[in-house]
Amino acid sequence: MSKLFSPYSLRGLTLPNRIVVSPMCQYSAEQGEATDWHEVHLGQLALSGAGLLFTEAVAIEPIGRITAGDLGLWDDRTEAALAGVLATLRRYSDIPIGMQISHAGRKASTQVPWAGGKQISVADGGWQTVAPSAASHAEGEHAPLALDDAGLERIRQGFVETAKRAVRLGIQAIELHAAHGYLLHQFLSPIANQRTDAYGGSLENRMRFPLEIFDAVRAAVPRDIPVGVRVSASDWVEGGWNIDETVEFVKVLKARECDWLDASSGGVSPHQKIAVGPGYQLPFAARIRHETQIPTMAVGMITEAVQAETILATGQADMVAIARAMLYDPRWPWHAAATLGAQVSAPPQYWRSQPHGLKDLFGDTSRLQR
């Protein structure tokens, strides 16, 4: 039996296999609203046979977008646009669908990546960013506004309202984005968080706001919907957030009923030095899983079926999250199942595509007219 293609349960949700389509920003929304691109993009991934499909990150408020093309879920208009996309997916696929909820903080107001990704000033059509402290992400960027008590409360409520909208849309799992240098990660990292109040300084203080967000979201959604967190396990910068602090953070999250931990890394500083290679973030997931016993998702240059199977079989993680490899090959789970001698779900319209010699790849297709 393939471990990768065995079912896995998160609270009230049972995944048919351990392959997760990672949240991947598309920068193709209009004023936060989903477009035809999202229907095409998510539609093909919904037919992939993966166990769980995440939408890209949704911003909780307009100034929380990384770019003007980011997907949002902050009002009735953005909710209605996404509802149409999800309704199309549901007509043709029963894949479980999750959503990542985010605020970009000081990394907001930038160009789309293919236009350079540089920050856009207010004078050039961007917007004023916010952060734990008035410290820019990179040299030459305009400084964010340090969040005051009213700003913190607005963001808390923004996460809660977005989570409630996600539930109304039928989303089955929610992930809070506390990684990649975005707002919740900014509070965790001493590189971005230079506050001297109850939200800065000590590890306990730096964890406070992300934990408040988690508690508020967990309390706002039904008990059977799992809520997890993506973290950057290391800033890859001397004096930054590190794996030891991550483990302590995850222990507290688990005690507050966090359902999984998605272990990524980096993003808070342009001075990061990352030794990138296949599975380069796996040691983070493995240590977090070993020391906290929380279910973990491993992510980062996982591209081959045998590699993914080995990660699970050796206890380094409970699920694998595939990102760029899934964009390159939207049928990655099909091909992984073929390699590992497993079965995968596929729509009946595609049953005839099974290669000769793999007639059982899609399960019982005996009704297929030859």
User: How much is the pLDDT for 275?
Assistant: 86
User: How much is the pLDDT for 359?
Assistant: 83
Please give the CATH number for the structural domain made up of 8-353.
3.20.20.70
Give pTM, 2 decimals.
0.96
319 DSSP β-pair partners? 297
Q: What is the pLDDT along the chain (370 residues), one digit of tens a residue?
A: 899 999 999 999 999 999 999 999 999 999 999 999 999 999 999 999 999 999 999 999 999 999 999 999 999 999 999 999 999 999 999 999 999 999 999 999 999 999 999 999 999 999 999 999 999 999 999 999 999 999 999 999 999 999 999 999 999 999 999 999 999 999 999 999 999 999 999 999 999 999 999 999 999 999 999 999 999 999 999 999 999 999 999 999 999 999 999 999 999 999 999 989 999 999 999 999 999 999 999 999 999 999 999 999 999 999 999 999 999 999 999 999 999 999 999 999 999 999 988 888 998 777 766 5
What is the tens place of the pLDDT at every residue in 169-218?
999 999 999 999 999 999 999 999 999 999 999 999 999 999 999 999 99
Sequence length of the chain is 370
User: How much is the pLDDT for 343?
Assistant: 96
The catalytic site residues sit at 182
Q: Alpha helix locations (H) across 136-271?
A: 149-168, 183-188, 203-220, 243-255
User: Which residues have C-beta within 8 Å of that of residue 261, sequence separation ≥ 6?
Assistant: 228, 229, 230, 231, 250, 253, 285, 288, 292, 294, 295, 296, 297
User: How much is the pLDDT for 368?
Assistant: 67
Task: Give the pairing of strands 13-15 and 8-10.
Answer: antiparallel
The phi and psi torsions of 290 (rounded to 5 degrees) equal -65, -40
Which of 230, 247, 105, 233 is closest to 177 using CA atoms? Answer: 230
Domain residue ranges in the chain: 8-353
* Helix and strand element counts for the chain (H, E): 10, 13
| Identity at 160, one-letter amino acid code | V
Alpha-carbon gap, residue 9 to 93, rounded angstroms: 19
Alpha-carbon gap, residue 368 to 298, rounded angstroms: 37
